[in-house]
């Protein structure tokens, strides 16, 4: 079932963020809410980053793994787990276990939503509401 789901989704990527694909399902600019399906590559970690706004997540398939900035495993969110994650200055990486992880994110806020960081914790990229508006094609995936 998941394989069929994945085939029917138009996955996108962002230059500079390896091991991550996504599909913007909906953007509600009026209420500052974005629904995004993220796919984290198996046994990989994405770029170091921090969340600047409230995120609610639901792990649909696989394990959604969070890592400290130094690479140590911080948390494992198995399939079926719902999580509410407030904004945090704590940088981390995200990834998957031994299979790709599909995670639904509901992102709240306008303006800057995420900051990607280098090893010295310098901001190298920001993702904002306007970026997700641009990624959204209006077709729901």
Query: What is the mean pLDDT for each group of 10 consecutive residues in the chain (141 residues)?
Result: 73 96 97 98 98 99 98 98 98 98 98 97 98 86 59
Task: Burial-class residue 23 by CB neighbours within 10 Å (0-12, 13-18, 19+).
Answer: buried
Fold of 2-135: Jelly Rolls (2.60.120)
Sheet holding 55-61, edge to edge: 12-14, 17-28, 33-40, 101-108, 55-61, 82-85
Specify the pLDDT at position 77: 99
Domain parsing of the chain, residue ranges: 2-135
- Residue closest to 49 by CA, chosen among 18, 11, 83: 18
- Six token digits for residue 107: 């992102």
pLDDT at residue 7, as a whole number: 78
Tokens linked to 106: 């509901």
Asked whether the beta carbons of 71 and 45 are under 8 A apart, the reply is yes
């Amino acid at each position: 079932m998941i394989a069929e789901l994945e085939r029917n989704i138009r996955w996108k990527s962002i230059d500079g963020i390896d091991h991550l694909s996504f599909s913007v399902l909906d953007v509600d600019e009026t209420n500052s809410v974005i629904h995004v399906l993220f796919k984290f590559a198996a046994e990989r970690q994405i770029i170091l980053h921090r969340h600047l706004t409230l995120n609610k997540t639901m792990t649909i398939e696989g394990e959604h793994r969070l890592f400290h900035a130094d690479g140590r495993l911080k948390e494992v969110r198995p399939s079926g787990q719902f999580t509410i994650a407030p904004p945090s200055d704590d940088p981390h990486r995200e990834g998957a276990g031994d299979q790709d992880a599909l995670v639904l994110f509901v992102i709240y806020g306008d303006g800057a939503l995420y900051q990607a960081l280098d090893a010295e914790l310098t901001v190298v990229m920001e993702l904002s509401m306007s970026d997700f508006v641009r990624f959204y094609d209006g077709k729901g995936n």
